[in-house]
Amino acid sequence: MNTASTALSLQHLRARLGKVCVSIIGSTPDEMFEKAAEAVRENSFLELRLDYLPKPQLALPMLKKFMASHSAATVIATCRRVAAGGRFKGAIAAELEILEGAIAAGCQLIDLEIESAEALKKPQLAALRSHGAALIISHHDFEATRDLDATFHRIQPFAPEFIKIVSTAKSLSDNVTMMRFLERTRDLANLIGICMGEQGVISRVLSIRAGSAFTFAAAHAGEETGPGQIDARSLIETYRIGQLDAATRVYGVAGNPIKHSLSPLMLNTAFRRETVNAVFLALQTSKLTDLLKLVREVPLHGLAVTMPLKQEILPHLEKTDPLSQRIGACNTIVRSQEGKLYGFNTDVAAIVRPLEKRLQIKGSRILVMGAGGAARAAVFGLKEKGAEVFVMNRTHDEALKLARQAKAKTLKREALAKNSFDVIINATPVGMHGVKATHLLDPKELNTRLVFDLVYNPVDTPLIRMAREKGLPYITGVEMFVHQGARQFEIWTGKPAPEDEMMRVVIRALQRRSDEAPKPQ
C-alpha cells in the first residue's frame, strides 16, 4: 500500500472514530459478544479486550460473525500480555496470531504494546501490518507519570497509525503534565493520552480537548479495564464529552475522599439543563499545593471545596465573603479572569434553611457533633440565628477552640445522655460511604426533638436509622447537599439553579446505589 492510499485509508478511519471507545470485557466469548452487541447500539466504537478471555483464539469465529452483522462498528482488538499489564499469559508469537486473526475477522484497529513491538523482528511486524488494520502501539505506566516525551520518541520510529501513552496520576498536576504533552505533540502524530487512577479522571474527560484522538470508557460501572476508568454513559451524558471545546469552563469538587461524590452528577446536570458550556470534575487530593497548581494551569473557573481543605485554603484567597471570614472556612471558590481566587460559604444557608422550615432556631438548644469545616458553618450560622449551641468532638480541645471562637458551649460525651436538645446535628464524616464506620451515638444518647445528619451518601445513615427507630423526625444530608450546590451554581453562572432537577438526579442516583449495594446476609 503506497503512502497516498495509506493516508486516505487513515483519514477514512479517523472519520469513523468516535471520541469515546468503549472497552468490552468478558470471561467467555458468549459474554463478551453479548456485551458488545448491547454496547454497539449506543456507541459504534469498541475495544475488545481479548486478553480477558482464558482462550482468546476460541473467540475469533464469534468475532467474525459480530463484525459481519455490525457493519457500522469500528473495533480495536487488544490482547495485552501480562508483562505489559494485560491478562494474556501466552508468548508474543501467540499474541500476534490472535491479532492477525482479529484483523481477518474484520477488526479495523489492533493495539500492540511497545514491549511486544520491540521484541518483534522487522519482518514479523511488517507481516502484521500488511493485513491492513491500523496499528496502535501503546505504553502503560502503572506506577507514575514520567517522561512522556521519551516514551513518545521510543514509539515513534515504528510509525504506527496511533501512539497511545497511558500513565498513572499520583497527583492532580500529573494531568496537567499529560495535557501539556498532548498539546505540544498533537501535530506530530495521532495521539491517545490518558492518566489512570482516581486522580486521573481529569485527563479522561479533558484529554480530547488537549489533542487526544479519543478516550476509553467502561461499558458499565464495575467493568473498568484500567484504574479510574469512567463508564461510557457518564462520559457521554454527565460529562458531555462530545461537546467540550476550548471555550468550555472547568469546575470541580476538591477533597479526599471524593470518589463517591455526587457533585459532578448534580452540577453537570445543572449545566446541561441551563445550557452552560461548562464541565464539573471530581478532584481527589489532600494537598493544597497540588490543587492550586491545577487551578492555575487548566485553568479552573471555580471550585467546591470539601474535607480537608475548607480551612486550609483561606490564606490563598484574594478575598472572602464576611461569612467565610467569620467562620474560618470556605466551601466555594471563584477564579477571576485575572486569576485571583475569591471565597464564599454556601454551607451555612444550606444548614440553617432546612432547620428554619421546621422550628424556630432562636432559643433552641442545638448540639453540633464535629469541629471541621461543616461543623464551623453550623455552629457560627446557628449562633447568629440566636440558638444555644453546644459543640461535641472526639478531640475535646478542638471542640473548645471552636466553641470559644463562636461563643458557643462544649459538651463531653459522658454528659450527653443527661442532656436534651431540640436538634442534634452530625457534622462529622461518620456514616459516609467510603469512610470506615465508627460508633457515633447510642440510642439512649439521642435525646432530641429532631436529628439532622449532614452526610448525604448514603441517605440512610446509621444516625438516621437510629432516629427512625426512636420515632424521631429527621433531615437527611441530601437537603443540605443540593441546597449548597444550587447556591454554588448561582455564584458561578449568575443563573437561577434548577434545584428540583438537581434534587431529582441526586435522589435517583442514591437510590440506585442503595439498590445495588450488597444486602446483609
The CATH code that applies to domain 351-479 is 3.40.50.720
Say whether 373 counts as a known binding-site residue. yes
Domain 251-347+483-506, what fold? Rossmann fold (3.40.50)
Residue 4 confidence (pLDDT): 46
Parts of the chain belonging to CATH 3.40.50.720: 351-479
Say whether 80 counts as a known binding-site residue. yes
Q: Is residue 344 scored above 70 in pLDDT?
A: yes
- C-alpha span between 508 and 247 (Å, rounded): 31
Model pLDDT for residues 233-249, shown as the tens digit of each residue:
999 999 999 999 999 99
Model pLDDT for residues 426-473, shown as the tens digit of each residue:
999 998 887 776 678 999 999 999 999 999 999 999 999 999 999 999
In degrees, rounded to 5, the angle at the alpha carbon of residue 127 between the alpha carbons of residues 124 and 130 is: 155
Mean pLDDT, residues 136-163 taken together:
98
- Strand pairing report for 448-453 and 421-426: parallel
6: helix, coil or strand?
helix
Which active-site residues does the annotation give?
140, 164, 310
Q: Is residue 203 scored above 80 in pLDDT?
A: yes
Which residues on neighbouring strands pair with residue 193, listed in sequence order?
A: 165
Torsion of CA 513, 519, 520, 521, to 10 degrees: -160
Say whether 47 counts as a known binding-site residue. yes
Say whether 263 counts as a known binding-site residue. yes
The per-residue pLDDT of the chain, averaged, comes to 94
- Strand pairing report for 302-305 and 74-78: unpaired
Domain 3-246 of CATH type 3.20.20.70: yes
Say whether 484 counts as a known binding-site residue. yes
Model pLDDT for residues 284-306, shown as the tens digit of each residue:
998 999 999 999 999 999 999 98
Say whether 262 counts as a known binding-site residue. yes
Element (H, E) at 186: none
| Range list of H helices, 141-273 | 148-155, 173-185, 201-210, 232-233, 263-273
Parts of the chain belonging to CATH 3.40.50.10860: 251-347+483-506
Read out DSSP for 434-487?
Answer: TSPP-----GGG--EEEEEE---SSSS-HHHHHHHHTT--EE-HHHHHHHHHHH
Q: Is residue 10 scored above 80 in pLDDT?
A: no
Model confidence, pTM: 0.90
- C-alpha span between 389 and 188 (Å, rounded): 63
pLDDT tier, 8 (very low <50, low <70, confident <90, very high otherwise): low
Contact 74, 52 (CB under 8 A): no
